[in-house]
A and B are shown apart, each in its own frame.
Chain A
Amino acid sequence: MLKNLAITSSPHVRSSATTRRIMQDVCIALAPAGIASIVFFGGSAAMIIAISVITCVLTEFLYQKLMGSKITVSDWSAVVTGLLLAYNIPASAPLWIPVVGGVFAILIVKQLFGGIGSNFMNPALAARVMLFVSWSGIMTAYPNTRFMVDEGMDAISGATPLAGLAKAFAGTGAETASIGNLLLGNVPGVLGETCKIALLLGGAYLIVRQVIDWRIPACMIGTVAVLYLIFGGFNFELTVKELLSGGLILGAFFMATDYATSPQTPLGRIIFAVGCGLILFVIRFGEKTYPEGCSFAILFMNVCTPLIDRWTAPKYFGEVKKHG
């Protein structure tokens, strides 16, 4: 019965000209965060970004060549996946990490399901979780930024601001990064998550250009904020720090808004975003295994997306129920 409703595969990414325009916009929006990561983490960050993008584009090209299908690398979507993947890797990771991740993202998560617009899960995020589960040691060895080394701290701290915040919330330790450092990105973390100003700038650009729906980031971040306020005893400072830590901003603006893997209806998008925020909060607040739940939260809601679409799609009157 849903067949005549074009909600199942994003129709607006079908024409490659618009796809290219959208993807180029996303690349522009992602650029400041990339530059910031190179400033903070140096040449290794640039290497990871380059390798990741090259792997993704090359994998897509080779697969489509091999399968004899239309080659779509010129739509820039593989570049976006490569960038997002790189932004989810710490600068200290060996260079085979982005290679394995890129192949997984493009081949398994995207192309096997029919390529752009057909995948049901965000390729970059799925690859990040795969890498994280497989090599958690490498993926959580967060190096300090270059400016922190100058202050005489250890080069590898392994702790993101999140770990300190969790302790602060529990009342067992108060040392947390300052809001200024969090905004600037002068904290340990993966490449693209750290500089929040750059990410917010990019996000604002995408909203202004109407590439992404503001509802998703607003509802996702709002949900997390409300939950932290309630469960953290209305501690505004810690709540703001929580919002600025980890992958929330990157995820909310750039990953949760992916067309193919988020719902099509406005109501569906709100449900999706609130769900992301809720799961992220539950994992951050109640987990013992993982300090950060942004990727898992979005992946889980990706899985729920077809059902959300199905149950929020506008109903036709006089529709004949088909038995199947």
Chain B
Amino acid sequence: MAKKNTVPSTLLNGLITENPTFTLMLGMCPTLGVTTAAMNGIGMGLATTFVLVCSNLFISLLRNIIPDKVRIPSYIIVIASFVTMVDLFMQAFLPDLRSALGSYIPLIVVNCIIFARAESFAAKNPPLLSLADGLGMGIGFTISITLLAAIRELFGTGTIFGAQVMPESYQPMGIMTQVPGGFITLGLMMILANAARKSIQKRRAARKEAAA
């Protein structure tokens, strides 16, 4: 696709067109692992966004200095440093959320979204654009995993963000907050997302045809 990169278009790109969860299918482990409750989804999403924005900015600033041969180890060090910062910050100020997210926080370091954006975007684009890309991707990721988490929490415990939503008589569907529920819910969401994308494309094509 030959389109010019502007800050708003880059932002939007991460949010919708190249949504990391539903289009790029990146970062699946935290997407499935922490989404048992909506709050965890937001926490994980924001932590990832922070790392993504910082590492994108940093790598973009250093893109002309880092020799091509050692770029992967360099990226790893940059990313791992920011992850360690987030981890220590959460341990100090948000211990409950940190323990709910468990080892997925240190594992942000191997989240392929961050790597993929560093390699495919930040290494080739100026700082401001890279920052926008990190922000867009991060928020796109946060929104999708929070949505998934909310659905799983709703059926699995009858609550959303801890507030009772389902009627009292609702018997929570335990499997939703367990591993199989995560896989199946994401699979079904992906089917819907694909269907939605296809119908949008079809409509756009039809409009283009009508215009021509």
Which residues of A does B touch, CB under 8 Å? 100, 108, 130, 133-136, 138
Contacts and interface: CB of A to CB of B under 8 A. Distances in A.
B85 interface: no
B184 A133 contact: no
Contacts of A130: 175, 180
A135 B184 contact: no
Contacts of B171: 135, 138
A134 B184 contact: no
Nearest to B177: A134
B186 to A, nearest CB: 13
B173 interface: yes
Contact of B174 (A100, A108, A135): A135
Interface string B155-188: 0000000000000000111111010100010000
Given A130-B175, A133-B174, A138-B171, 15 more contacts: A100-B173, A108-B184, A130-B180, A133-B175, A133-B178, A133-B180, A134-B172, A134-B173, A134-B174, A134-B175, A134-B176, A135-B171, A135-B173, A135-B174, A136-B174
A130 B175 CA distance: 7
Contacts of A133: 174-175, 178, 180
A100 B184 CA distance: 15
Nearest to A137: B171
A130 B178 CA distance: 11
B180 to A, nearest CB: 7
Secondary structure type dominating chain B contacts: helix
Interface of B: 171-176, 178, 180, 184
Most chain B beta carbons < 10 A, residue from A100, A134, A135: A134
Contacts of B173: 100, 134-135
8 contacts: A100-B173, A130-B180, A133-B175, A133-B180, A134-B174, A134-B175, A135-B171, A135-B173
Contacts of B178: 133
A136 B173 CA distance: 10
Contacts of B180: 130, 133
Question: 4 tightest CB-CB pairs across the interface, nearest first?
Answer: A134-B174, A134-B175, A134-B173, A133-B175
A108 B181 CA distance: 12
Contacts of A135: 171, 173-174
Contacts of B174: 133-136
A134 B176 CA distance: 8
A131 B83 CA distance: 39
Contacts of A136: 174
A133 B176 CA distance: 10
A294 B175 CA distance: 19
A88 B174 CA distance: 19
Interface centre among B172, B173, B178 (most CB of A within 10 A): B173
Contacts of B172: 134
B179 to A, nearest CB: 10
A100 B176 CA distance: 13
Contacts of A100: 173
A138 B178 CA distance: 18
Nearest to A94: B171
Contacts of B176: 134
A135 B174 CA distance: 7
Contacts of A108: 184
A161 to B, nearest CB: 26
A100 B173 CA distance: 10
A136 B184 CA distance: 20
B123 to A, nearest CB: 32
Nearest to B191: A112
A109 B205 CA distance: 35
A133 B175 CA distance: 6
Most B-side CB within 10 Å, residue of A100, A133, A138: A133
A108 B178 CA distance: 17
A138 B172 CA distance: 12
Nearest to B184: A108
A248 to B, nearest CB: 24
A95 to B, nearest CB: 13
Contacts of B175: 130, 133-134
A251 B180 CA distance: 22
Nearest to B172: A134
Contacts of B184: 108
